[in-house]
Amino acid sequence: MSYELLIITGEDSGDLYGGNLAKEIQRLSPDINISGVGGRRMRSAGVDIFCDVSDISVVGFWEVIEKLGLIRRLYKQVVERLDSGNVKGVVLIDYPGFNLKVAKAAKERGIPVFYYISPQVWAWRKSRVKTIKKYVDKIMVILPFEKEFYKKEGVDVEFVGHPLLEVIPPPLQGGELGGREEICRELGVDDKKLIIGILPGSRKKEIAYMLPPILKASSLIKEKYPSTQFLLPLSSSVDENYLKDFITSEYSHIKHYRGKNYDVMKVSDLLITKSGTSTLEAAIIGTPMMVIYKSSFISFCLAKILVYLSYAGLPNLLAGREIAPELIQFGANPGNIAEKAMYFLKDQNRLNQMKEELKKVKHSLGEPGASKKVAWIIIEYLKNSTN
């Protein structure tokens, strides 16, 4: 029997996880046809993409308003597919503002709903747990503390481990220095000199807010440590021409690459990264980091009111304390970024201590194989529900 499965995400990282999940589903059960909302990774996995994730991906509370028209049209399009009678299951990946509405629509039509990559309801809007319990048949979580959180709320939950453990090549994981010389040669940098990796985000607005202060900080660091090398890996979703407005001639010391995120993380002595998935990637690879976050003033004020978390960086959240320094909004200025970076660069023991703490964070994420586990859960559920 043939099934049609809908996978919906609104983020670049969700596209990565959705692509790997789609590959596993089709490997294990080729009779399942998959369509959805995603990007190049899901498309390359054979998913019929009817809306590209780059069109709806936003950062910050206020910025969502600018996309409301497009998001409403997309929701209407999704509902039309649900009404077609062909969709036998819906997989939602993060993106809760949109996906929880889809969950309600699917459930009302008797279509099984799976949530993979939990909305951060433990961070803000805990009332959404009630919606999840009502409209989601099974939620698969990737952070260890999420299982207990949902279990207490009576939600059918399973911890599957973090999918990044299967995304990041094993030789790059764990903080060991093997292969550094070869990677540095490929990147065209000196493995004997200090390297700072810069990861300002994959969206234009993230870059616009976070890259300028990092660039100014890099100049301040160069004054103190002239031989320091700065590497900026570009996300595949970022147009290289967009960077020309930021990386002017005064920042000629910045080397940038298309892709190479994990290679840059592996060889860097220190990373300056936005909060989000990249902090967990760095933790798995074992590279010390500084976490920064900036957004529009309105979004920042709303976050201060609505978000109840002690830390912005996932490694700190998992550790229950600040193991990687965080500079948020007004604190993420060039002077502070440079000062904090130099605090770590001048003492290798501080970097080594952070590496040891990051190993513990990596260990807490479970074992590789999340995509396969989730694929089996979905396939078995769909086949049992149609028998």
Same domain, 174 and 320: yes
Question: Residue 226 sits in which domain range?
Answer: 169-363
Same domain, 254 and 230: yes
Alpha helices (H) in 277-368, listed in sequence order? 277-285, 297-306, 314-319, 334-345, 348-363
What is the CATH number for 37?
3.40.50.2000
The total domain count for the chain is: 2
Same domain, 195 and 139: no
Residue 217 has pLDDT above 90, yes or no: yes
Same domain, 207 and 254: yes
Same domain, 207 and 133: no
* Average pLDDT of the chain to the nearest whole number: 87
Same domain, 91 and 183: no
315-365 confidence digits (pLDDT tens) = 998 998 999 999 988 888 999 999 999 999 999 999 999 999 999 999 999
Residue 1 has pLDDT above 60, yes or no: no
Q: How does strand 87-93 pair with strand 3-9?
A: parallel
Same domain, 93 and 190: no
Same domain, 146 and 230: no
Same domain, 58 and 142: yes
Same domain, 300 and 346: yes
Q: Is 89 helix (H, G, I), strand (E, B) or coil?
A: strand
Residue 70 has pLDDT above 90, yes or no: no
What percent of the chain is predicted at pLDDT more than 70?
88
- pTM value is 0.83
Same domain, 66 and 154: yes
Whole-Å CA distances, 168 to 110, 196, 236, 262, 269: 37, 20, 16, 7, 18
**List of residues 6+ apart from 189 with CB closer than 8 A:** 195, 229, 231, 255, 267
